[in-house]
Every structure is written in structure tokens, then in C-alpha cells.
């Protein structure tokens, strides 16, 4: 067997196709995430209140019926219950319309934590999906890698359409969970049954909903760092691990270490997420305290975040995952004798180039034994 590239076969168009699909997935997910951030988070309550506060004198002159007809009373009720839920509501302080439309510091803090957590959870998912799309599409081809005459099938059954559908479901699941506080505020705070409960009951119900979602958000963000098991049978899981398992569906078990390294290396770059968190914390702080943010400045920052995250995802797909401690690991596909290096069939591959050959090479000797 010669060591020249002519001795192995793979669809070179997969390299381009994988990159294009990954970029498309990222762009769609990125703008969908910002739509959720701007439209479906609890920001919408504050923005509605701020709309009325900007022209408060006009609305102060209205009758109760007129306020009810334009939805002002609904916003007042939602603000009241939000303040009450975090023990920030006192009847004697709600004297003016301005007071009734003003969030106190505790619910503001909750908004900051949930909104920033929501954007980070969804952006991390988009990076995961981009990685999965690039790697799986690149290595996935119609080339049969089962040795002639063997009944065992050595190529996994990973399906691109199936993986895209699974990723969509993960994203949808998280979106629906993360907007529960918004749904709760918008619907429950506006029904008479809830309004007629005792105050302590309303506070208890609200806190259970709000705190549960906050715990879910930060569990999802930090689940890998707190040692959640990768075992498929583990009772504890997270969207991070679900994303990782989707990518593993395209590899044999001996190459799971390659996928683990991609995701571990991704999570080791905490600095990227810290910077993004600081940016959104700043936006939220300014927004909730009526400090103006120029639209074009915000758009440029959002665009820069998107470019950085896309390049980060691409880098993670194509880097070599050999560390200084991997004394027996190998970058190569063939050794000096023209034989496949052990990583190609017995050990885990270390980069996408080895993976391409391994899952596109005719008659890959997966069963070969090496001492």
C-alpha cells in the first residue's frame, strides 16, 4: 500500500459541502436566537412599561376604561405581580402611574440573569450544531468501508437529515423552556383566578416558576464543568451532552474520544462566553435603567459576536486534538511503510482529516489486530 493520496478515496466535495451547511446552520440559528432574545424574553414587559413611561402625562389623563382598552392596565398588573413575586411591592409606594410601571431592583436582577442566560444557552447550542453539521457532513459519504466478504458493518448509520431534525428539537425544547417566564407573566398574571389568590400563594407560585427556569439555565450552561456523566444511561443530562451524542452517531465507539475532545476543548474556552455574557449584561443593565444604546453600535457588537463564534466553531472542527501528553498519538494517516497508522482503525482519530479517510476508505481494516 503506497502512502500517496491516490490510495484512499473520499468525496472531496464533502469538504466544501460540510463547511457551507455548517455556515448556513449557524446563520439561521444565530438570527433566530436574536429574534427570541428581542421578542420573547421578559424584556418585552419592561419595554411595554417603558413605552408608556415615555409619554406618561398622556396616559395619566386617561380613564380606567381607556387604559384597559389600550392594554395599559394589563402591563400595570404584570409589573405589580413581578415586583410582588420578589418581595419588592408595597401598596403605599404605588401612588402614581409612574410607580406602577416601574420595576424594582430584585425583578430587574432576575431579568438580567434570565435574559443573559437565555442568550448564552441558545448561542452555545448554535455553536454545537455548527460543529455537528460541519464534521458529520464532511465525513459522511456513500463509500462503503466494510471489507469485502465481511458481514459486519463497520460504518455507523448516522443520518444528516435525522441529526438536523434532532438538533432542531433540542433547540425548540430549550426555547420553549426558556420563554416559560414570559408565557407565565403574560398569561397567568392576566387571569382573574390568579389575581384572586392570596398574595403569599401568588408569590410562592411565581417563585417556583422563576427559580426553576433560572436553575435550568445555569445547569445547562455549567453542566459539563460540574461533572455530568457522558453515559447515555445517566439520569442527568443536558443539551450540551445531547448535542455531543448526535455527533457520536456518525462515529464508531472507538472514535468517541475524538468527539469528546472537540466538546471538551470547546468548553475550555470559557473566555469567549465570559466576554459575551459581559456584553449582554451591559446591554441589559442599560436597557433596564433607561440608558440609551445606539442601535448601530448594538448591531455591530452583535455582528462581531456572530463572526467570532462562527470562526470559533470552524476552528474547533479542523484543529488537531493531540496534546503534549498524547505520547502515542499520531497526526498522520499512513506510516513510513505505507500502512495505515493505528489511529485509523484501532485507536481514536485525532483530527477531521483522519476521520474523512477512516469513514470513506474502501475496505477499512477495523478488525485488524495490533500488539
Kindly report, residue by residue over 98-139, the tens digit of the pLDDT: 888 988 999 999 999 999 999 999 999 999 999 999 999 999
Q: What is the pLDDT of residue 284?
A: 84
The domain containing residue 167 runs over which residues? 12-147+157-312
Taking 60 as the threshold, does the pLDDT of residue 46 lie above it?
A: yes
Nearest partner of 215 among 117, 108, 285, 124, judged by Cα: 117
Q: Cα-flanking dihedrals φ and ψ of residue 334, to 5°?
A: -115, 150
The answer to whether 263 touches 240, Cβ cutoff 8 Å, is: yes
Nearest partner of 72 among 96, 53, 94, judged by Cα: 53
Taking 50 as the threshold, does the pLDDT of residue 143 lie above it?
A: yes
SS3 content of the chain, % helix, strand, coil (to 5): 65, 0, 35
Q: Which of 38-47, 157-166, 198-207, 360-369 has the lowest mean pLDDT?
A: 360-369
In a domain, 101, yes or no: yes
The answer to whether 23 touches 313, Cβ cutoff 8 Å, is: no
The answer to whether 122 touches 175, Cβ cutoff 8 Å, is: yes
Q: What is the pLDDT of residue 213?
A: 96
In a domain, 326, yes or no: no
In a domain, 251, yes or no: yes
Residue 188 to residues 77, 312, 349, Cα–Cα distance (Å): 11, 41, 52
pLDDT in tens, 238-297: 788 889 999 999 998 889 999 999 998 888 887 898 899 998 888 888 878 776 656 566
pLDDT in tens, 168-224: 999 999 999 999 999 999 999 988 888 888 889 999 999 999 999 999 999 888 876
pLDDT in tens, 287-338: 787 766 565 666 788 888 999 999 999 999 999 988 656 666 677 888 888 7
In a domain, 48, yes or no: yes
In a domain, 174, yes or no: yes
In a domain, 152, yes or no: no
In a domain, 351, yes or no: no
In a domain, 267, yes or no: yes
Q: What is the tally of structural domains in the chain?
A: 1
Q: Output 4 or 104, whichever has higher pLDDT.
A: 104
Q: What is the pLDDT of residue 6?
A: 44
Amino acid at each position: 500500500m503506497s502512502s500517496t493520496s491516490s490510495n484512499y478515496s473520499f468525496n472531496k466535495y464533502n469538504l466544501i459541502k460540510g463547511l457551507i451547511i455548517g455556515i448556513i446552520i449557524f446563520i439561521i440559528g444565530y438570527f433566530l436566537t436574536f429574534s427570541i432574545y428581542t421578542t420573547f424574553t421578559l424584556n418585552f414587559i419592561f419595554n411595554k412599561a417603558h413605552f408608556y413611561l415615555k409619554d406618561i402625562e398622556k396616559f395619566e389623563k386617561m380613564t380606567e376604561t381607556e387604559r384597559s382598552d389600550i392594554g395599559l392596565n394589563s402591563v400595570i398588573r404584570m409589573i405589580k405581580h413581578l415586583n410582588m413575586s420578589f418581595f419588592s411591592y408595597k401598596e403605599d409606594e404605588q401612588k402614581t402611574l409612574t410607580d406602577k410601571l416601574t420595576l424594582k431592583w430584585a425583578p430587574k436582577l432576575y431579568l438580567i440573569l434570565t435574559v443573559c442566560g437565555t442568550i448564552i444557552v441558545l448561542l452555545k447550542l448554535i455553536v454545537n450544531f455548527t460543529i455537528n453539521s460541519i464534521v458529520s457532513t464532511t465525513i459522511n459519504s456513500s463509500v462503503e468501508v466494510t471489507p469485502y466478504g465481511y458481514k459486519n458493518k463497520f460504518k455507523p448509520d448516522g443520518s444528516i437529515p435525522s441529526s438536523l431534525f434532532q438538533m432542531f428539537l433540542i433547540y425548540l425544547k430549550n426555547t420553549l423552556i426558556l420563554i416559560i417566564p414570559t408565557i407565565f407573566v403574560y398569561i397567568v398574571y392576566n387571569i382573574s383566578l390568579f389575581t384572586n389568590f392570596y398574595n403569599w400563594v401568588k408569590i410562592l407560585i411565581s417563585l417556583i416558576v422563576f427559580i426553576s427556569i433560572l436553575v435550568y439555565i445555569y445547569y445547562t450552561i455549567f453542566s459539563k464543568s460540574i461533572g455530568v456523566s457522558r453515559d447515555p444511561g445517566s439520569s442527568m443530562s443536558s443539551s450540551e451532552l445531547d448535542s455531543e451524542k448526535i455527533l457520536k452517531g456518525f462515529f464508531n465507539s472507538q472514535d468517541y474520544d475524538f468527539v469528546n475532545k472537540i466538546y471538551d476543548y470547546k468548553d475550555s474556552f470559557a473566555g469567549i462566553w465570559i466576554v459575551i455574557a459581559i456584553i449582554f449584561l451591559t446591554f441589559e443593565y442599560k436597557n433596564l435603567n433607561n440608558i440609551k444604546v445606539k442601535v448601530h453600535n448594538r448591531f455591530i457588537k452583535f455582528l462581531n459576536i456572530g463572526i467570532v463564534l462562527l470562526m470559533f466553531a470552524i476552528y474547533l472542527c479542523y484543529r488537531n486534538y493531540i496534546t503534549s501528553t498524547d505520547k502515542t498519538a499520531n497526526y498522520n494517516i499512513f506510516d513510513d511503510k505505507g500502512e495505515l497508522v493505528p489511529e485509523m482503525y484501532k485507536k481514536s482519530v485525532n483530527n477531521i482529516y483522519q476521520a474523512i479517510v477512516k469513514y470513506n476508505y474502501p475496505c477499512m481494516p477495523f478488525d485488524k489486530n495490533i500488539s
